Structure 1
Amino acid sequence: MRSIIKDGQITQDSWQVLRADVEGQYPTVAADVDVIVPLALWLADKPTWQARAGQTAVWLAPDDDPQLLATDLDRLPLVAVDFPAFTDGRGYSLGRLLRERYSYAGELRALGDVWVDLLHYLWQVGFNAFEIKDGKDLDGALSGYDTFTERYQSTHREPVPLFRRRVTSL
């Protein structure tokens, strides 16, 4: 089992992320294993994925359209967003859209090239679970929540921008 950060705590995680190999083939997964499948596989055969004994969740690539999941979000216990490179910020928009436009209330997980430097910002746009990149300090990553004490702009977690908060606190 892999350790992740979820809701500010380090926890053991039983989910298996399904990724294609170099030939584009997906490994077989036991029916009773909790699995996170790519959006394309989910859309290609929803009934089969929903009928499994184990739970099924979906992961989105940076260029996937979250609207394609809109009618399924109430049935998904987890939606993950892949960050294939530390410098690819498109996942932030996906996270915020899932929370604010599509009202997704389940676990929203960041996976891929996720470092402690991103944790605060990902938390602010609505992510609540993080698979920190292998080789990075998981205990040290918890400090990412406290990187900043204030934010200028509005976020999912702090919808009122700083200039409005300052006016009301005077």
Structure 2
Amino acid sequence: MPLLINREPVENDSWTLVDEDTLQQSGDIIVPLALYQENQDSLSNREGHLAVQVSGDDNIDTVLENPNQFPLIAVFFPAVRDGRGFSIARLLKRAGFTGQIRATGDVSHDRLDFMTRCGFDALEIPADRYSEEVHNAFSEFSVRYQGAEDDSRPVYRQ
């Protein structure tokens, strides 16, 4: 999947999403939150960086208590109609998370700009949805009606 970090394409990504069968893989891994919670002790002794993937179905209270224990938190969007990932990104930022927030799953062109405004700095775009047009998504709107986490463009005021 093509990856944009800070709105720029990245060729090499050191992170790998693992599941129960590949949990002991070496290197930098992203572990689904439930799997991380089940294997937290064994994962603490491994080499390489460790990150978690959360979704709207997860209770992220334990992550919010100490968000900077992870250098990266991936937020999974299961479907375009599920916007809970936007709220998760905002909650992470408000909790003081300073690492990378990565959008994964159903990441589409029409949501990219708002994702970055909510706090995402990395976007995994499915290969079948990626084109050079994706980069235009960040400048399609010149005026906003709502403020955002990192907003450098004017907000409409009456």
Whether TM exceeds 0.5 here: the answer is: yes
Q: Which runs of 5+ in 1 are unaligned?
A: 20-25
Give per-residue Cα distances to partners, 1:18-61, cap 9 Å, x unaligned.
24xxxxxx222454221111111122222322221121100101
* Equivalent residues in 2 for 1:19-168, closer than 5 Å: 19=19, 26-100=20-94, 102-158=95-151, 162-163=156-157
Q: CA deviation at 1:115?
A: 1.1
Match of 1:8 in 2: 7
SS in 1 for 2:129: coil
Distance 1:32 1:134, change over 3 A: same
1:17 has 2:17 as partner: yes
Identity rate, percent = 31
Q: How many residues align?
A: 156
Counterparts of 2:150 and 2:96 in 1: how far apart (Å)?
13
Moved over 6 A (4+): none
Q: CA RMSD in A?
A: 2.0
Secondary structure class of the residue paired with 1:120:
helix
Q: Could you tell me which runs of 5 or more consecutive residues in structure 2 were left unpaired when the two chains were aligned.
A: none
CA shift digits 1:63-118 (9 cap, x unpaired): 21222212342220100100011121111111111112x11110000000101111
Under a length normalisation based on structure 2, what TM-score does the superposition of the two structures give? 0.88
Between structure 1 and structure 2, the one with the greater Rg is 1
Segment drifting more, 60-69 vs 75-84: 60-69
Q: Distance in 2 between matches of 1:66 and 1:108?
A: 14
